[in-house]
Every structure is written in C-alpha cells, then in structure tokens.
Structure 1
Amino acid sequence: MTVNQTFDQYVKDFEETFSGWDFSFVSETGRIQSGALSWSYGSQVLPYVRRADSLLDMGTGGGELLSKLLPLPEKVAATEGYEPNIPLAKERLEPLGVRVAAIKEDSKLPFEDDEFDVIMNKHESFSAYEVHRILQPGGTFITQQVGGYDCRQINEAFGSPENVYENWSLEAAVHGLRQTGFRVKEAKEEFPVQRFYDVGALLYYLKAIPWQVPDFTVEGYKEQLLDVHHHIEKHGYFEAKQHRFFISSVKV
C-alpha cells in the first residue's frame, strides 16, 4: 500500500461515529496516548460524592463518569448542553435516580438558590456567579478544566487560528472564583504530552473537539494533514501538549 493509499484509509476515520464522551475507538487501541497528571479527578471527587447529600455534575456528557461513582446521593442532578449527548445521559443516568437537565447557557441553570452541597465539573464551562448561587454556603465546587493552550501545536501545524479559549487558565479561573465569593483550597496546573500515532486518530480527535480548529474540514486542511501524516511516518507520532488545571473551592 502506498503512502497516499494509507493516508486515504486513515481519512475515513473522520466519518466514525462519536457519541457521549467516548474516545475508545482510538484510545483503547493505543492510537492516542496521553501523559499522566499528578492528580486523578475521579479520585479527588469520589470522597465528596460519598459524603454529599445533594450533588450536581456539570457537563455530564453521556453520564459515563457519574454512573461509575456509585453509590450516589439521594438527590443528584446532571447538566448537559450538547444535544446529541442528552438522550445518552438520560438513558444511562435516569435509572440511577439522576435528574438530567438540558441547558443552553451557563448563566441560567434550572436550579434553586443553595440547592447543592457538592458541584462537580469536568471539562465543562461554567459561570462562577451561577455556581455560587446554586451551591450551599460551605459547599464544595470541584473542577478539572481544559486550559486555553491545549494542543496548540495542532493549530501551529495547520496554520489555523488559535483556540478561542486561549486566555482560559488556572490564574484566570482562580481569580474569577475568588472574586465571586469562593475560598480556593487547592489549585494545580500541568501540561502533559499527548501523542497521535496516526493521522486518523488526529482526525477523530478533531471531530470530537471541533473548537480546536473551528473551521476544520478534511478538504480544507488536506495539505496540512498530509504533512502530519508524513511526519508520523518519519518520527512515529505527532506530539502536542495538553493543558489541564484542577481547582477545589468552598463557597464562603
């Protein structure tokens, strides 16, 4: 098989179905591998989930993570803003007693003041003011975020505009939370490496993360994709740096 034939085979991966927040099509085969963080979000949130009387999971995706944190509190809700994920989340979580709320705006959540004593958030945007409103005094907001410098090497390789969230960082998030009335207990920020071992894995990633390269199409970036393909053929992988930060905070 020629190089171009191999490339054409990988391009077909852009048509693969992506649902929920499931990267197993490429991650379980080792086609994408990510460096380890010094913390585990799941291990961090689990003790809070076990002690909570009322819990909200913001940006639950298809409910994949929340459904694995059993037993859940008696009162638990989840939000999701990406329409294709909403039926998946309801199917997975409603049998567990979770109220799944479809949302359109971070600043307008369908919950009462002081409704939850724990709010967890993994890779979901948020309004610090709205989180403060629905969290009980003394309650915990715990989040892991994707920072604005995430995988910017992809943008550089494609000559595409920078990530629209490039100013989103640990410093910015901590400042916003403190200004809103939170006491930050713990804050960490790291840049682990992520490697793509074939261009099809990169295409699948870009389909799942469309905001990385907002104007992306295969035809529009075919020349750059071929360059990445040749780079991988020569070096074995294409490498980018992720941007992750973690915050545990209390409403005061």
Structure 2
Amino acid sequence: MTRSFEELVAEAEAVSVEGWDFSWLAGRATEQRPSWGYQRVMSERLARASAALDIQTGGGEVLAGAAKLPPLMVATESWPPNVAKATALLHPRGAVVVADADEPPLPFGAAAFDLVTSRHPVTVWWEEIARVLRPGGTYLSQQVGPASVFELVEYFLGPQPEHVRRARHPEDARRAAEEAGLEVVDLRFESLRTEFFDIGAVVYFLRKVVWMVPGFTVEQYRDRLRELDAAIRERGPFVAHTTRFLIEARKGESRKGEPSGRVP
C-alpha cells in the first residue's frame, strides 16, 4: 500500500540524523559516486602513512572503512554526538578522536603528520593544514563542489545569486592551497546524478545536511513539501546533481637549514 504524505514525513522527522551514515536512504534515494573512489584512494594512502590526521571525521564511518590505519591515527570532530560515535567506532582500531571546534589553530604541533585527509569538510583552513604537515607530506580530500544539489536548494529557497552558486569552486581551493605554500598535484571535478524517490527521503536529507536549506523544518516548508510529494508521485523521482572534487596537495621538502615545521 502506498504510504501517505503525512506518514512519510512523520517517519523522516522521527529518525535520528546523527553521524554521517546515509544508509537510511537505501531504496529511497540514490547518488552517483565519483569515479576516483575516495574511500579506496584514502585507504591506500593510510596504509603507507606513519602518522595521519582525519579532519572533520563526522561519526568516523569513512575512516573506519580503511583496511589498515597507520601507527599514529588521529581524527577531529566538532559536534558532540559525532565525537561520541566516532570514539566508539575508532578507538577499537587504535585511533584517537579529538574534540575540536573546526577553527584554527588545529590542536597539534607543526609537522606532526605525513598525511592529512578529510571527506566533505565544511571549512578548510589551508594554513593550518600546511603547518601540521611534515615536509613531503600530503593532504587528500574529497569536497563538495559548487551549486551541489541546488535543484533541491532552489526549489525551497528560490534562485540563488551567482556568488552563492559559485562557492566551493575547485579552482578557489587550488588557489588557497597554493597561497598556503602547498603544491596541488591532483584536482578532479565531477557532476553526479542524484534522485529522491519519496518525500521522506527529501525531509531526511535536509534534516541531516543542515547547510542546504538553513533552518529547515517541515512546518515551515509543509506546503512546498506537499507540492513536491505530489510531483514525485505523478512524474517520478526528483532529480538533482551533486558536485564533488578531489584535491591532493603536497608540502615541499625543507630546504637546507630551514626548520622542518615551517611552511615553505
């Protein structure tokens, strides 16, 4: 039996949105994955690292999927429920989870890590990344690109100005990395198809990814949600496009006589 609008919405409002696990959306939404396979690439790099830092680890789910962690593995996270979840998931793997406000400075000394990773960071403090990397060390990150899922954003908020649509552009990341003294050795971008099969999936997504429609509540947007529910039932899935980019940046080797913790 087809469930009603009210039933789907009530279910999506009641479910927990802690952590960064989207398994609740199985069968209700799909998102095409980037061709480079961040989890695989990250795992390969971690297996070769001696000391690594994962910034904004969320609930630790992505890091926990690595087959092998380095002898020293640290993760940072700012949201208390995620700190608790990541701790429970990563401590058995020998990783330390540090509660951090996601504002500079990072709570680590200079040249502490040979690898820094981050999947979908909200903010990127390039100077701090350069500072905590050892000479020859690497930053590897998959990030949300410009105007990601904006078909859904603009359905609720209306057309967004160009500077908002362009935010998080990969070329801006390249420029910021280079200004911090890092050499960008890989930069790839893809636009990926995303589909929402019922209105519950939309509600869950907007509750979990809170920056898409800031302050989203079902009550505030109930009329628009009803209209979207009717459109999905009549015409099929709501289609949007997720944007992602992969960036890899390397810190140069120290010059003779230069302190190893200094950004070149």
Q: What TM-score results when the alignment is normalised by the length of structure 2? A: 0.89
After TM superposition, the structure 1 stretch with the greater mean CA deviation from structure 2, 237-246 or 30-39, is 30-39
State the partner residue of 1:15. Answer: 14
2: distance between equivalents of 1:202 and 1:35? 17
Distance 1:79 1:165, change over 3 A: farther
Give the superposition deviation at 1:52: 0.3
State the partner residue of 1:110. Answer: 107
> Does residue 6 of the first structure (1) align with residue 22 of the second (2)?
no
- Counterpart of 2:4 in 1: which secondary structure? helix
Aligned counterparts, 1:105-184, within 5 A: 105-124=102-121, 125-160=123-158, 162=160, 166-184=166-184
2: distance between equivalents of 1:138 and 1:165? 34
Give the superposition deviation at 1:101: 0.7
2: distance between equivalents of 1:177 and 1:94? 31
1: distance between equivalents of 2:170 and 2:95? 30
Which amino acid in 2 is paired with 1:20?
A: G
Give the superposition deviation at 1:37: 1.7
2: distance between equivalents of 1:204 and 1:40? 25
State the partner residue of 2:92. Answer: 95
Q: Runs (4+) of structure 1 moved beyond 6 Å?
A: none
Which amino acid in 2 is paired with 1:17?
A: S
1: distance between equivalents of 2:245 and 2:17? 25
Identity %: 35
Give the superposition deviation at 1:165: 7.9
Give the superposition deviation at 1:200: 0.3
State the partner residue of 1:223. Answer: 223
- Counterpart of 2:60 in 1: which secondary structure? coil
2: distance between equivalents of 1:6 and 1:238? 17
Which amino acid in 2 is paired with 1:102?
A: A
State the partner residue of 1:82. Answer: 79
Which amino acid in 2 is paired with 1:63?
A: G
| 34, 57, 62: which one aligns with 2:59 | 62
2: distance between equivalents of 1:58 and 1:105? 8
| 43, 47, 59: which one aligns with 1:46 | 43
Q: What TM-score results when the alignment is normalised by the length of structure 1? A: 0.93
Determine if contact 1:187/1:245 at 8 Å carries over to the other structure.
yes
Structure 1: which 5+ runs fail to align? none
- Counterpart of 2:229 in 1: which secondary structure? helix
Which amino acid in 1 is paired with 2:251?
A: K
Structure 2: which 5+ runs fail to align? 253-264
2: distance between equivalents of 1:144 and 1:9? 35
Aligned residues: 248
Give the superposition deviation at 1:110: 0.8
Give the superposition deviation at 1:94: 1.5
Determine if contact 1:11/1:203 at 8 Å carries over to the other structure.
yes
Determine if contact 2:64/2:90 at 8 Å carries over to the other structure.
yes
1: distance between equivalents of 2:135 and 2:165? 30
Which amino acid in 2 is paired with 1:113?
A: A
Determine if contact 1:147/1:165 at 8 Å carries over to the other structure.
no
Residues 65-107 of structure 1: CA distance to partner in whole angstroms, max 9, x if unpaired?
2122132111110001122100111111122221111111332
Distance 1:160 1:104, change over 3 A: farther
Determine if contact 2:157/2:213 at 8 Å carries over to the other structure.
no
Give the superposition deviation at 1:187: 0.5
Determine if contact 1:160/1:213 at 8 Å carries over to the other structure.
no
Give the superposition deviation at 1:160: 4.8
After TM superposition, the structure 1 stretch with the greater mean CA deviation from structure 2, 54-63 or 152-161, is 152-161
1: distance between equivalents of 2:197 and 2:104? 39
